[in-house]
C-alpha cells in the first residue's frame, strides 16, 4: 500500500490550494469527499473528475454518477474506481468539477508517493495535510475572516460597538444640560470668534487609511 499526496488548486487562483493524503487503494469517492471538506463545500451537488495531462486537457470522466448529458466515452464511477489504477504518471493530473451549474473547478496534481514503510498508518485517511490561501465562498456567505472573525470580535468587543457609539456617546446627555450656559458665553465672543475662524482655515481629514 502507498499514500498518495495530491495538491488541489482552485482553478482561478493557484495560490489557493489544499494538500490531501489518500490511500492508493481508496476510491475516487474518498478523494471527492476530502476535496469538498478541504474547501468547506457541501456535498449535495453533482461532481466529476477528468483524467488530464500536463496542459490540463480533459480526458475520460470518473463521475459521481451517470448524468443526463453527452459523453465521448461512458464515464467510470467514483465509487467503483480505485485511485491507484488511474495513476500512470509520476505527477499525474486530474481535473475536478463540482456543481455543474456553478462550475467550481479544481486542478489536481500528484506531488508525492509515500511508501507503506514511511506512512503514518495510525491516521484515518483521507486527510488534509496543508491549507494555503482563503478558499472561495460556495454560496457567498463565508467572510474573508472565516472562523477567525469570532476571535477578533471578542478581542475588540465588536458586539457592543454595533449597538451604539461607546462610552463617549453616553455623556452627551450631561453636555446638553450645560448648553444654555455655553450659549450665553458664545454671544459675548463677538467679533473675536469671527477672527478666529479666519485664522483656522478650512481643515481636512487625513484619509491615508491602510486597507486589508
Largest CA distance in the chain: 93
Residue 187 pLDDT more than 90? no
Domains of the chain, start order: 2-136 (3.10.290.30)
Report, as an integer, the average pLDDT of 17-31.
Answer: 98
Report, as an integer, the average pLDDT of 163-175.
Answer: 48
Residue 24 pLDDT more than 90? yes
Cβ distance 31 to 6 under 8 Å?
Answer: yes
Residue 69 pLDDT more than 60? yes
Most confidently predicted of 81-95, 129-143, 147-161:
81-95
201 CB contacts (<8 Å, ≥6 apart)?
A: none
Residue 194: strand, helix, or coil: helix
Residue in 106, 92, 64 with CA at minimum distance from that of residue 2: 92
Interatomic CA distance for residues 121 and 114, integer angstroms: 11
Amino acid at each position: 500500500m502507498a499514500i498518495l499526496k495530491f495538491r488541489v488548486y482552485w482553478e482561478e487562483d493557484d495560490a489557493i490550494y489544499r494538500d490531501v493524503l489518500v490511500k492508493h487503494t481508496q476510491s475516487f469517492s474518498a478523494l471527492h469527499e476530502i476535496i469538498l471538506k478541504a474547501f468547506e463545500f457541501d456535498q449535495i451537488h453533482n461532481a466529476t473528475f477528468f483524467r488530464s495531462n500536463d496542459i490540463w486537457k480533459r480526458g475520460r470522466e470518473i463521475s459521481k454518477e451517470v448524468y443526463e448529458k453527452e459523453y465521448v466515452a461512458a464515464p467510470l464511477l467514483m465509487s467503483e474506481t480505485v485511485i491507484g489504477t488511474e495513476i500512470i504518471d509520476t505527477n499525474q493530473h486530474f481535473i475536478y468539477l463540482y456543481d455543474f451549474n456553478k462550475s467550481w473547478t479544481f486542478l489536481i496534481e500528484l506531488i508525492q508517493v509515500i511508501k507503506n514503510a514511511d506512512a503514518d498508518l495510525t491516521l484515518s485517511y483521507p486527510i488534509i495535510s496543508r491549507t494555503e490561501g482563503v478558499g472561495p465562498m460556495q454560496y457567498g456567505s463565508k467572510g474573508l475572516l472565516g472562523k477567525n472573525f469570532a476571535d477578533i470580535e471578542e478581542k475588540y468587543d465588536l458586539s457592543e460597538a454595533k449597538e451604539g457609539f461607546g462610552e463617549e456617546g453616553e455623556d452627551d446627555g450631561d453636555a446638553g444640560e450645560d448648553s444654555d450656559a455655553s450659549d450665553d458665553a458664545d454671544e459675548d465672543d463677538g467679533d473675536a470668534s469671527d477672527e478666529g475662524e479666519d485664522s483656522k482655515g478650512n481643515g481636512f481629514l487625513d484619509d491615508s487609511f491602510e486597507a486589508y
